[in-house]
Amino acid sequence: MITPCDETPAGRFEFWRTVVANSFVPLEALPREAPDFRARLRSARLGPVQVSVVEADAHSVAHTLRHIASDEPDFVKVSLQLTGRCVLSQKDRQVLLKPGGLALYDTRFPYTLDFDEAYRMLVVMLPSPLLRLPEQGLARLTAVPVPGREGLGPVVLPFLGGLADQVEELESLQAPRLADTVADLLHALLAPYGDITAEARDDGRELLTRRILAYMEQRLADPGLGPDQIADAHHISRRYLYNLLAEQGYTVSGRLRERRLAQCCRDLTDPALAHLSVGAVGGRWGFPDPAHFSHAFKAAYGMSPRAAREAAQHA
């Protein structure tokens, strides 16, 4: 279905609102301020599996509590971002999908999809039992980025891309086992990340926070490390990054400064590094400006870096 050309932008969006609400589980499309709106939906039914390609201008979609009925089947939706960007939010998680990004969401719970630019997305919707994932595994996978360059990602993602390219021909191919193939490949891709091991029992949000903190720790020496790079590396928005660290009592800049200064303090008091100048120590840990380093160190420790080194030498 495509938005009619002879309608006003508002009329086209109302048409799209109806299409979206009737093509998946109940949804509400929400417009963004824009001079125009155009969209297109192509779908194929493969037995219990629905494969859809959505192309549209910027807007949002919400599946809210009022849309969820107790007698509706339990579906899982797996989305592959083909072009544009999408912020998927479900429960207390959020993932930023860029081209090649893939994530899963559960229609038993509210979710939102926010598109801030024109996009193209593949959506595979299937009954959750077809994925053969344990409930805890499914919960762990909800609204988290699924790696596309490791495991079976390099195999499954091109297959899904092929489905998107051929969506209008899928039903006519008369391949009765294609639905099973889609479900089996998605299971093979997702199962390793939904495995309930001791580590996997950790909440996905907590696991993501630990990964972010480890990523920051490994790159303290990079003076250019900042929120945009950190968020992009973990496929989340900058705002979500701020929220995750705020729950740990940090700001991004505050955490980086604290850990960099701690490493500097360690090096300044290490006799084996006494040959390094104070400025060189700061430069090793992301403080290229010696004056800024000295000011930050004194604010944190109540003495200059040089005084800290001298105190350690006479201890």
pLDDT in tens, 271-289: 889 899 999 999 999 999 9
Q: What's the average model confidence in pLDDT over 287-304? A: 91
Q: Which domain holds residue 75?
A: 9-198
User: 311 and 213, same structural domain?
Assistant: yes
CATH (domain of 28) = 2.60.120.10
This prediction has a pTM of 0.67
136 CB contacts (<8 Å, ≥6 apart)? 194, 196, 201
Distant-in-sequence contacts of 182-186, Cβ < 8 A, 24+ apart? 182/46, 182/49, 182/51, 182/124, 182/126, 183/49, 183/126, 183/130, 183/131, 183/132, 185/152, 185/155, 185/156, 185/159, 186/78, 186/124, 186/126, 186/131, 186/156
Same domain membership, residue 267 and residue 190? no
pLDDT at 297: 92
Secondary element (H or E) of residue 283: helix 278-284
Domain end position, chosen among 166, 198, 230: 198
Q: Are 23 and 110 part of one and the same domain?
A: yes
Which pLDDT belongs to residue 195? 61
DSSP state of 74: P
CATH number at residue 241: 1.10.10.60
> In the prediction, which pLDDT does 200 show?
40
Q: Which two tokens stand for residue 274?
A: 């006494």
Task: State the pLDDT confidence band at 175, using cuts at 50, 70 and 90.
Answer: low
Convert the pLDDT of each residue in 42-70 to its tens digit: 999 988 899 999 999 999 999 998 888 76
H or E, element range at 213: helix 204-218
169: which residues sit within 8 A by CB, 6+ positions away?
Answer: none
Q: What is the pLDDT of residues 245-273, one digit of tens each?
A: 998 888 999 999 999 999 999 899 888 89
Domain count, the chain: 2
pLDDT of residue 290: 92
- Residue 127: pLDDT over 60: yes
Res 120 pLDDT > 90: yes
